[in-house]
Amino acid sequence: MSPIALIEATATALWVYAALTFAHWALRAARLDRRQHIAAATDLLGHLVPAMILLVLTVLAGALIGLPSVVAFIALLFPAGLAYGAHMALHDMEPPPSRPHLISRLFMTIVLAVLIIFTRQVR
């Protein structure tokens, strides 16, 4: 497996995990009282901002130093930041997700990522 294929597979798994976690967060936020929606969205943004700042700093450092592989870092840092932000915002909600929820989300991530990667490789 080439390094590019490994980076692509990892990024795909991170995108799938971020999407599943954000969907779970959206369902939990929809169940909150109407007055708590802004607080939940603000909490989500509060977790996303540090990850996106790291992404911008990586791009700037890559441009200043002249790293040719900064695109690979971006391909991993962006979905990882989204997954981290959604995961932490979901964890901050009352009650936090249980261990079986996390394990089922990880299992669904692996299954969907494998299906996506397989489908993209067949074409």
DSSP of 79-104: HHHHHHHHHHHHHHSSSPPPHHHHHH
> How much is the average pLDDT of 39-51?
93
As a whole number, the mean pLDDT across the chain is 90
Question: What's the pTM?
Answer: 0.88
Higher-confidence residue: 76 or 123?
76
Question: Helices 3-31 & 99-122, crossing angle to 10 degrees?
Answer: 140
**The token pair that represents 68 in the structure block:** 């040719």
Domain boundaries, the chain: 3-122
pLDDT of 95 > 90? The answer is no
CB contact at 8 A, 18 and 83: yes
Q: Please identify which residue in the block is written with the tokens 């929809």.
A: 30
